[in-house]
Structure 1
Amino acid sequence: MTRAGTLRAAAAAVALALPLTLATPATAAQDAREPAGTAAAERGALSVRHYYTTWRDARSYWSADTRYATSGWLWAGRHYFFCQTEGTAHSDGEGAFSTWWVLTDDDTGNRDVFVSATALRVAEPWKPVEGLPRC
């Protein structure tokens, strides 16, 4: 590869990584609804993305049942969610439990997967996430 080609490849890599580097985590007070992009619009009735902050990394599941784990993860930070449903009880590992699960796309490429609501900063044990519609 020529020097110019190497520089173009490096510039492209920086252009892809820069938005992630500059992103700042949101606080619970900043969590809010925002209009959906194309991915959410494709889901039909789930046309609004609801943004919340997760306080920890969370394993994703194909359903609201811990028997069906994916190999994916949702990293701690600000994420969009589409809706919530009740499922099997799940612990956050620090004593909080919930039966509420939120639908999202995880950070490892899985779409339409569930994460326990215990990962959300605003979630309360055993209660649905306020402001997030039911699936």
Structure 2
Amino acid sequence: MWRTATSYTAGGEPMGTLNQGLNYFYCQQNLGRRETYGKWTNVWWAKTDDDSGNTNVFISDVYIKGGDNDQPLPGLPVC
């Protein structure tokens, strides 16, 4: 993660925070919601547990190093 980000349920409800730094992710899926930050934009979201204690929440792929706009992250399986 190159920046701290808000975590969300699959339905789009804000839940908590995932801090910048090394984090783990289970899988990713296209949730049908677009997240944009500066020149980066994506409809793919990675499933993880956040630093607020919430499990099975999603972070936009926008905040994870290694991907391209509107593309899944290479090497992370689809949920």
Q: TM-score range by the shorter chain?
A: over 0.9
Structure 1 residue 123, shift from structure 2 partner: 1.9
Counterpart CA distance in 1 for 2:67 and 2:13 is 22
What are the superposed Cα offsets for residues 32-67 of structure 1, whole Å, 9 maximum, x if unpaired?
xxxxxxxxxxxxxxxxxxxxxx0000100011x5x3
**RMSD of Structure 2 on Structure 1 (CA):** 1.0
TM-score normalised to the size of structure 2? 0.93
- Supply the AA of the counterpart residue of 1:114: F
Q: With a CA cutoff of 8 Å and minimum separation of 6, indicate the structure with the bigger relative contact order.
A: 2
TM-score normalised to the size of structure 1? 0.56
1:96 equivalent to 2:40? Answer yes
- Supply the AA of the counterpart residue of 2:65: R
Match of 1:69 in 2: 14
- Supply the AA of the counterpart residue of 2:74: E
**Structure with the higher fraction of residues in helix conformation:** 1
Structure 1 residue 124, shift from structure 2 partner: 1.3
**Max radius of gyration: which structure?**
1
5+ residue gaps, structure 2, are none
Counterpart CA distance in 2 for 1:61 and 1:123 is 20
2:52 paired residue among 83, 101, 108: 108
State, as a whole percentage, how many aligned pairs show the same letter: 36
Counterpart CA distance in 2 for 1:112 and 1:128 is 18
2:2 paired residue among 55, 58, 61: 55
* Count of residues in correspondence between the two structures: 78
5+ residue gaps, structure 1, are 1-53
**Structure with the higher fraction of residues in strand conformation:** 2
Counterpart CA distance in 1 for 2:46 and 2:23 is 11
What are the superposed Cα offsets for residues 54-104 of structure 1, whole Å, 9 maximum, x if unpaired?
0000100011x5x3111x10000000000000021111x212110000000
